Amino acid sequence: MTAARKSAWIKKIARDAGFDGAGVAPAVRPGRADHYRQWLAEGRAGRMDYLHRHVEHRTDARLLLPGARSVVVVSHNYHQPAPPEPADGQPRGRIAMYAWGRDYHRVVKKKLHAMIGRMRETLDEPFEARACVDTAPLLEREFATAAGIGWIGKNTMVIHRTLGSYFVLGEIVTTLDLEYDEPANDRCGQCTRCVDACPTGALDRPYRMDASRCISYLTIELRDEISEALKPHMSNWVYGCDICQAVCPYNRKAPVTAEPDYAIREPAPYPSLTDLLSWRQDDYREKLTGSAMKRATLAMLQRNARVALDNLHRRRTP
Ligand code: B12
Ligand code: SF4
Ligand code: SF4
């Protein structure tokens, strides 16, 4: 099979596996590591120490898989309309949409392994392949934009013209020689809605994020106390934040996910804050089995719930 035919066929089996987009990028993104190093040097990663490790690997997939030539990037839509908030008067928090259903790491990995299985059955040449979702030291958005999955918006999300940005990314790094796609063009234009809407100033410059100020970082990644200066700006988010995506015009008509595994599971999307504060380790384990929310410990979720309660209280008593 020619490189072009292999690429077309791999994109077809990505659709068969349930992915919404697929593209192919070269295994190396020269020059981009400098941008990333500068971002780290400016302290924008906060306490995410893991981002300081394997810096060279992040733009060179050959260091993840010797002999790698291509990175197949897939997108998986998790967008769904929010149900109405229960009108029971209970103080409630908010959970970011990507964590409403089953943990996307598991969902996407399973589909990527199914794709690799089909590739092994069908392609009559020897090759190596490695599936990655989020946790591998790879600048996924860099490879996604190079593979034509979407452009990197001013909110730093990968955005697709019709799919919007409510999708997660996954990759198959492979030694196969494939035809590469063209990068997607930036369509943000004069719009600055995301930058204007970010409540903590994390998007301090278009296309640049100070992650140490992002509500997503503060609720999911930061294990210490949250700075008093930022707490009042966090509203009632207890896990992640969707504000800079919710205001993006490209998400207005985003299609609804077809993935059954992303169906909403309790306590998403509006957890009762008093319930959350009463959880013990057993409740945490039982209620969050198979959920991406397990990235935050129980102590972190309860810390976030206290901040959310304070903010709701402040909203009611001006
Ligand atoms: C650390 C991390 C975070 C951090 C930091 C986010 C950030 N913007 O960097 C925190 C905890 C804040 C976070 C939040 C979220 N995250 Co996150 N996160 C990651 C992770 C693990 C690494 C990202 C990283 O390396 N950031 C460092 C910055 C500098 O890198 P970068 O954003 O990729 O930018 C590079 C390029 O885009 C390029 N670039 C960008 N702009 C420009 C401009 C110029 C001029 C140049 C030259 C280059 C350039 O250079 C950068 C470095 O090379 C990735 C998974 C992965 N392995 O990549 C997921 C990932 C980015 N996250 C994801 C998601 C879903 C989220 C949230 C939506 C979750 C939520 N609802 O709370 C939010 C979104 C917040 C936002 N607006 O970005 C998805 C994004 C999917 C998409 N459509 O883009 C990813 C890809 C995970 C996945 N597998 O799907 N995340
Ligand atoms: S996720 Fe929320 S806090 Fe983070 S950059 Fe977007 S709007 Fe700002
Ligand atoms: S809100 Fe506007 S500026 Fe921000 S990512 Fe969307 S289109 Fe781009």
Closest-lying ligand 1 atom to the alpha carbon of residue 59: 53
**Does residue 7 belong to any structural domain of this protein?**
yes
Show the DSSP H helices in the chain as ranges.
3-16, 32-41, 104-122, 140-146, 193-197, 215-216, 243-246, 273-278, 281-287, 298-316
List of residues 6+ apart from 29 with CB closer than 8 A? 59, 60, 139, 142, 143, 146
**Does residue 173 belong to any structural domain of this protein?**
yes
- Residue found under tokens 């369509």: 187
- The one catalytic residue in 134, 181, 186, 310 is 134
Q: Tell me, in angstroms, the distance from the centre of ligand 1 to residue 139's CA.
A: 8
Per-residue pLDDT 10s for the chain (318 aa) are 899 999 999 999 999 999 999 999 999 987 788 889 999 999 999 999 999 999 999 999 999 999 999 999 999 999 999 999 999 999 999 999 999 999 999 999 999 999 999 999 999 999 999 999 999 999 999 999 999 999 999 999 999 999 999 999 999 999 999 999 999 999 999 999 999 999 999 999 899 999 999 999 999 999 999 999 999 999 999 999 999 999 999 999 999 999 999 999 999 999 999 999 999 999 999 999 999 999 999 999 999 999 999 999 988 776
Closest-lying ligand 2 atom to the alpha carbon of residue 209: 5
- Which letter does DSSP use for residue 234 in this model? S
**Does residue 316 belong to any structural domain of this protein?**
no
Indicate the pTM of the whole model. Answer: 0.97
Determine whether 134 is an active site residue.
Answer: yes
C-beta of residue 264 within 8 angstroms of C-beta of residue 100: yes
CA 138 to the chain's CA centroid: 13
**Does residue 317 belong to any structural domain of this protein?**
no
Choice from 162, 165, 191, 242 to test ligand 3 binding pocket (greatest atom count within 8 A of CB)? 191
The whole-angstrom separation of Cα 150 and Cα 318 is: 42
Range of the domain at 238: 1-310
**Does residue 198 belong to any structural domain of this protein?**
yes
The pair phi, psi for residue 22, each rounded to 5°, is -155, 145
Number of domains within the chain: 1
Query: Please, which residues bridge with residue 171 across strands?
Result: 73, 132
Q: Residue 173: helix, strand or coil by DSSP? A: strand
